[in-house]
Amino acid sequence: MNFLKKILSSLNNNSDMNKYLILGIGNIGNEYDETRHNIGFEIVDELSQNLDTKFESVKLAQRAEGIYRGKKIIIIKPNNYVNNSGRSLVYWQKKEKVSNENILVVCDDLNLFFGNIKIKPNGTSGGHNGLKDIENNLGTSKYARLRIGISNNNKIPKSDYVLGKWNSFEKSNLNNLKTSSIEIIFSFIQTSIEETMNLYNNKNFV
């Protein structure tokens, strides 16, 4: 662990503060399209469109690159499923020399109502296996995450619910959630996470 900390410390000392890594959590494969667990993928897809860039297949991920107000944005969709998101993040963080402070992970959150979006500078995995794997690989929980509420239907097993398709109400409000999420991401990049939290964390977006 000490060896890993030295590597990460060296990485942060040599990182480019004008470079950001935005990672969306999701599962690859057409069968997972439009499922709740893939909202991270949907939002970074929207981000790539806003930045007028396209994804390409690379090592451990689909990757896109764009510029926002003079800052380089690396967008990553891991290609090894939700539970193994950390390996892709750490590989591209090291390759691109991005500091921990400039990482933002976008994911679904069962503990938030649908329509709620929260950005936080750190925290626990909250039972999300993708966040748990990122923490294990990164060696810290001190990285920003954008959590998109998907509610929690206790009548349906958790795995079935998160892998289930959006219902009609959710689908009708997804565009609002995506648009608001992009605003939050750009605020995080342009201002600070503290200011972004103050602006957005107490709002409902549907």
pLDDT for 48-64, tens place per residue?
999 999 999 999 999 99
Q: What average pLDDT does the chain have?
A: 92
- Looking from the CA of 180 toward its CB, the CA atoms found within 13 Å total 22
Indicate whether 124 belongs to any domain: yes
Domain annotation covers residue 102: yes
Domain span holding position 129: 2-200
Does residue 205 lie in a domain region? no
Q: The domain that contains 148 carries what CATH number?
A: 3.40.50.1470
Examine residue 206 and state whether it is found in any structural domain, yes or no: no
Percent share of the chain, pLDDT over 90: 85
For tokens 């993040």, what's the residue? 89
pLDDT tens, position by position, 109-158: 999 999 999 999 999 998 899 999 999 999 999 999 999 999 977 789 99
Question: For position 15, what pLDDT does the model report?
Answer: 65
Per the annotation, the verdict on 128 as an active-site residue is: no
Give me the mean pLDDT over the 164-172 stretch: 95
Strands of the sheet with 71-78, listed across from one edge:
56-58, 61-68, 71-78, 19-24, 103-109, 144-149, 117-120
List the catalytic residue out of 15, 23, 27, 37.
Answer: 37
pLDDT at 22: 98
Whether residue 24 is contained in a domain is answered as yes
Q: Is the confidence at residue 193, as pLDDT, over 90?
A: yes
Contact 105, 146 (CB under 8 A): yes
d(C-alpha 115, C-alpha 176), whole Å = 9
8/2 Cα distance (integer angstroms): 10
pLDDT of 85-118, one tens digit each? Answer: 999 999 999 999 999 999 999 999 999 999 999 9
Rounded CA separation 141/125 (Å): 8
d(CA 181, CA 129): 22
Quick count: other Cβ atoms within 10 Å of Cβ 107? Answer: 27
Number of domains in the chain: 1
Q: What Cα–Cα distance (Å) separates residue 171 from each residue in 26, 35, 114, 115?
A: 17, 10, 11, 12
Q: Is the pLDDT of residue 1 over 60?
A: no
* Distance (Å, whole) CA 137 – CA 55: 24
Q: Over 90: is that where the pLDDT of 33 sits?
A: yes
Q: Is 76 contained in some domain? A: yes
Residues in the chain: 206
